[in-house]
């Protein structure tokens, strides 16, 4: 695995696809154990979570699981704008449903906190969050995700759904911004 360059910035390999697949399998087993038979509704937060959600949803292998999609945006470039806008709404009735929010990464926690508050208004039976990545040191609001693939330091990463202004989502591995020497 080589370094990659986007917008003049160099990124180096950080988490390999095999490691990602291993954590996806582990999370899927935990979720299946907790939700099988409960008709859970996975709520994929677009855009970043779409690849993780597809892999996780398949790996869970539950007969009664459903998935739907919502779109939030709070990031521009490499810094959180702190201003979370709902772009695509949730049309399903979630009253009495068990919701599993699927996120790519929890950074400041602003997006997750906002989403949990919005969902709580609609009387679900339960709401938990599965995030592939979590930056605990960056968390400003709320609690972290209940299901976490990798805890990482506050560094900017991309690949496997994570982007830099829309680019690099299609990288099968995850890369981290290289320190300037």
Q: Is 43 in the site for ligand IMP (CB under 6 A)?
A: no
How many residues of this chain bind ligand IMP (CB under 6 A)?
Answer: 18
Catalytic residue flag (residue 113) = no
DSSP string covering 135-147, please? -GGG--SS---SE
> Which uninterrupted H or E stretch holds 81?
strand 79-88
CA within 13 Å, CB half, 100: 29
Q: Is 157 in the site for ligand IMP (CB under 6 A)?
A: yes
Q: Is 9 in the site for ligand IMP (CB under 6 A)?
A: no
Q: Is 115 in the site for ligand IMP (CB under 6 A)?
A: no
Q: Is 48 in the site for Mg ion (CB under 5 A)?
A: yes
Residue closer to ligand IMP by CB (options 29, 143) is: 143
Among 39, 69, 80, 125, binds ligand IMP (CB under 6 A): 80
The dihedral formed by the CA atoms of 168, 174, 177 and 178, expressed in degrees to the nearest 10: -120
In angstroms, what CA-CA distances link 73 with 9, 62, 135, 167? 22, 30, 18, 15
Q: Give the active site residues.
A: 107
Contact positions vs Mg ion (CB under 5 A): 48
């Amino acid at each position: 695995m080589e370094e990659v360059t986007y917008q003049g910035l160099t990124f180096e390999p950080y988490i390999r696809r095999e490691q990602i697949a291993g954590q996806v399998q582990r999370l899927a087993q935990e979720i299946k154990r907790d939700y099988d038979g409960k008709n859970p509704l996975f709520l994929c937060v677009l855009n970043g979570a779409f690849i993780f959600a597809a892999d996780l949803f398949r790996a869970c292998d539950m007969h009664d699981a459903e998935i739907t999609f919502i779109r939030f945006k709070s990031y521009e470039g490499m810094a959180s704008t702190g201003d979370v806008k709902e772009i695509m709404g949730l049309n399903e009735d979630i009253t009495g449903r068990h919701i599993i929010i699927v996120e790519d990464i929890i950074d400041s926690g602003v997006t997750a906190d906002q989403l949990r508050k919005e969902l709580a208004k609609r009387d679900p039976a339960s709401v938990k969050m599965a995030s592939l990545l979590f930056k605990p040191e960056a968390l400003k609001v709320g609690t972290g995700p209940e299901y976490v693939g990798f805890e990482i330091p506050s560094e900017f990463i991309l690949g496997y759904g994570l982007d830099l202004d829309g680019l690099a989502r299609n990288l099968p591995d995850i890369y981290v911004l290289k320190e300037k020497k």
